[in-house]
Amino acid sequence: MANNELLQEVKNKANQWLAGNYDKETKQTVKHLLEHDEKELIESFYRDLEFGTGGLRGIMGVGTNRMNIYTVGMATQGLSNYIKSNFSQLKQIKVAVAHDSRNNSRLFAETTAKIFAANGFKVYLFDSLRPTPELSFAIRHFGCQSGVVVTASHNPKEYNGYKAYWEDGGQVVAPHDTNIINEVLKIKSVDEIKFSGNEGNIEIIGDNFDQIYTDMIKALSVSPEIIARQKDLKIVYTPIHGTGVKLVPMSLKKLGFANIYNVPEQDVVSGDFPTVHSPNPEETAALKMAIDKARQVDADIVMATDPDADRVGVAVKDNKGEFIILNGNQTAALLTNYLLKKWGENNKLTGKEYIVKTIVTTELLVDIAKKYNVEFFDVLTGFKYIAEIILQNQGKKTFICGGEESYGFLIGESVRDKDAVSACALVAETAAWAKDMGKTLFELLIEIYKEYGFYYESLASVVKKGKEGAEEIQKMMAGFRSNPPKSINGSKVVKIADYQLQKITEPETGKTSPIGLPKSNVLQFFTADGSKISVRPSGTEPKIKFYFGVKDKLEQVTDFDKVKKILEGKIDAIKKQLGI
């Protein structure tokens, strides 16, 4: 589309907002953009903010391509229509609504709740900000048919988002995801949105429900006697201005931990995230203040949760006494190892237990599961697929835990999304167990590597912006498919998993077998020396992601640094071969 055609289309859409049933302040802002800010006008109206398989996520502001009460309203009305069509047999449909600490999150949550109520639903609305996993728990606790949390996770402060959940407490998956999208697309005008009516249907829930949620977390503890012995474990925790501020310390205290240090500047609830550039616990800078505090008080562990408290970053002392941040694979390995060991010692393993991981997460979890004869499942990237496995096995098998490399972890079946509140409790308990044996979490990790092999993972993202970039990413994927590497870093490729074609191929024999997972544009190469390379275009950003997993023996604890250097070199060599 030519630039002037696009501009004219954008102006037409903006004028529809000026003429339509929108509030006075919105109209004034649209008028200002029309008269003074052509660039922002185009960004705000050049497309409709897409309701994707996970819901909405975008920059806040006026316009069809922005998060505002009208785009949230259209999403909620479409979702309401779909819920009604699925549960028409029920006398009373119930939903739950929560939100994080972002700017406008309360406004969007209240707007969502009012639209649900106007559609005749019973609505459980939290009285203030709450972690995303508590919303998942609430859906199941109150017997709801759906739920919404207003959050943009760890995105920059300009963003907000909207995630839809189904009656199992998991984010919507097929066929509901695409069916909801279709219903949202049918809403063509704000006049179709029921913004008000039946507000008596809204029930505010608060502190009493927090007690129920944290009691559930306390019940997940597998070694309360160890916590009692190590209750003085020194823990530094930061919510990075988000929803963990109240419930993470509450859960830790309920378990019996008495030595919890906060970072006062980051306990300030603020959607501006004033002390960090990005409120992402994967980034070292986000944990800097907490690590500084940990050095001051000589803490044992540091934990940080993202704004909606579904992911946790952990820092521990290494063998030199310096704090280092664990990656998501390492945290998942420590927690899975602890849980399976204790379930075994407590005679709770009956042969019907299982764990779940995503396909790009470390294979170390598989080795740990095999040792304890615990079944494991691999799923596509996204925690909603872990929730789907739990639903499929409900009543037949027992879910112990599940994890993904991007800092998400879940224990037990009461919540159906990643849960940093319960994960923080389990990290502290695992650290207490280590301390009870005279060890640190880092030493425990090295022992795991010594037993199963030193698994080392790394992620590289190649950014390709714009239309040309998107085409280039597709060409890269097509090239890997049509001409896959025969060897990687001198080791023969023994297996290729193509999730788009849904098949596994063994190049040497030509033997193929099916992949029983939904189609996804992901390729994986497995080599004879235990390396795993995964390639996938990002679903939300203009980039292609490469996940590297390499492995070597760790004969002696003292060899850790030497072997780590070898594995880092291995990944560098693989990157060079793949042209990254």
Answer yes or no: are the C-beta atoms of 79 and 180 closer than 8 Å: yes
Name 519's Cβ contacts closer than 8 Å, sequence gap at least 6.
499, 500, 502
CA-nearest of 175, 177, 153, 154 to 164 is 177
For 135, phi and psi rounded to 5 degrees? -65, -45
Which one from 153, 221, 414, 534 is the annotated catalytic residue?
153
Cα angle for residues 532, 534, 536 (degrees, 5° grid): 180
- What backbone phi and psi angles, to 5 degrees, belong to 354? -155, 160
Both tokens of residue 492? 């023969």
**Cα three-residue angle 506-511-515, rounded to 5 degrees:** 75
Is 343 in contact with 400 (CB distance < 8 Å)?
A: yes
The label of the residue with tokens 């502290």 reads 428
Burial class from Cβ neighbours inside 10 Å (0-12, 13-18, 19+) for residue 28 reads exposed
How far is residue 525's CA from residue 504's CA, in Å, rounded to a whole number? 10
Beta-sheet strand order (sheet of 312-317): 260-262, 235-238, 301-305, 312-317, 323-325
184-193: b (≥16 Cβ within 10 Å) or e: beebeebeeb
Distance CA 395, CA 320 (A): 47
- Gap between the Cα atoms of 529 and 362, Å rounded: 15
Q: Tell the burial category of 25 from Cβ atoms under 10 Å away from its Cβ (0-12, 13-18, 19+).
A: exposed
Six token digits for residue 456: 């080392």
153 in active site = yes
Q: CB–CB of 567/531 below 8 Å?
A: no
Paired tokens of 537: 């275009």
- DSSP for 516-538 reads -S---S-EEEEETTS-EEEEEE-
Q: What whole-number distance in Å separates Cα of residue 501 and Cα of residue 188?
A: 36
Report the DSSP pairing between strands 532-537 and 503-506.
unpaired
454 exposure class (CB count in 10 Å sphere: 0-12, 13-18, 19+): buried
| Residues annotated catalytic, as ranges | 153
